[in-house]
Amino acid sequence: MNDARSLAELQRWFVHVITHERSVAEAVADAESAGLHPPGATLPSAQLSAEARLAIYHSGYRARLCECLVDDYPALQHALGRAAFQRLCLAYIERYPSRSPSLNAFGRHMASFCRDELASAPYAAELARLEWAIVEVIHAPTREPLSAQHFARLTPERFGRVALTPSPALRLLALEYPANAFYTAFRRNEAQPELSRAAPSHTLVQRRGMHVQREDLDAPRARLLERLLSGTPVAVALGAAVAADSGMSAEHVNAAFASFFEAGLFIGLEER
């Protein structure tokens, strides 16, 4: 029992030191003042002092988390520049230290963090939203999509009540800046558009099989899809799209609806 308690104390002390925002010396002193320094916790090696040995983990902790954020946000790093993005990452780590054995969700706060820290560059948060949507659909579970034939068996009464269940590997983003155009040009190693110039768009992000696809939708199709994704009954959503002064005829609405099925955006039907 004593050994277990000693190990737990040592682990708490070690985590405190390596995740401390300042130097190792300051982290050790801070731990000692908090009563978190078990006797004999640090020893030198033949080549390194105890402090130098701890510094390896202190710096490695941040380096690994920064690598994770670069993996999730390569276009954001490109847009801001490596040095500025590194500073952003270090500040992010202090605000949102890792709390899980898995790093898959570590970067999930980046868009809101950019809104707080880079208020003068709102396009950064928009680009972060897009890149995080890509991360989310990559890790989303795979579900068998519905086909248009699933509607063939519905009576007119049920058609007015049934809603669609969206694929978990799907995100629809309303963006104020050309994040998708910038991301596409970045990935193709082409000249990127001016990201800071407002250009509202709706971007559909989805994974089909092993491939992530991104598509900008015009406003009428995006509004129709938003209604369907929100759980609005299909007949109501289609009727609203035709009734709205959107420039979409019934034929265009039906064609858009069919294209959503062909894209595999829905996985189930729900009675309302």
E-assigned strand segments in the chain: 162-166, 170-175, 201-208, 211-217, 266-271
pLDDT at 42: 72
**Tokens 């902790």, residue located:** 61
pLDDT at 170: 97
Angstrom distance (rounded) from CA 206 to CA 194? 25
CA distances from 34 to 27, 40, 98 (A): 11, 16, 21
Pairing verdict, β 170-175 and 162-166: unpaired
What residues contact 200, with CB distance under 8 A and at least 6 apart? Answer: 174, 175, 176
Angstrom distance (rounded) from CA 223 to CA 9? 55
What structural domains does the chain harbor?
A: 143-272 (3.90.930)
Backbone dihedral angles phi then psi of residue 216, each to the nearest 5 degrees: -85, 130
Q: Is 89 buried (19+), middle (13-18) or exposed (0-12) by CB count in 10 A?
A: buried
pLDDT at 37: 67
pLDDT 10s per residue in the chain (272 long)?
Answer: 456 557 777 777 777 777 777 777 777 777 777 777 665 667 777 788 877 888 787 778 889 999 999 999 999 999 999 999 999 999 999 999 888 889 999 999 999 999 999 999 999 999 999 999 999 999 999 999 987 777 777 777 777 889 999 999 999 999 999 999 999 999 999 999 999 999 999 999 999 988 999 999 999 999 999 999 999 999 899 999 988 666 688 899 999 998 998 899 999 999 87
SS3 14: helix
SS3 5: helix
What residues contact 63, with CB distance under 8 A and at least 6 apart? Answer: none
> Looking at the DSSP assignment, which residues form a beta bridge with residue 211?
208
Angstrom distance (rounded) from CA 128 to CA 140? 18
Residues counted in the chain: 272
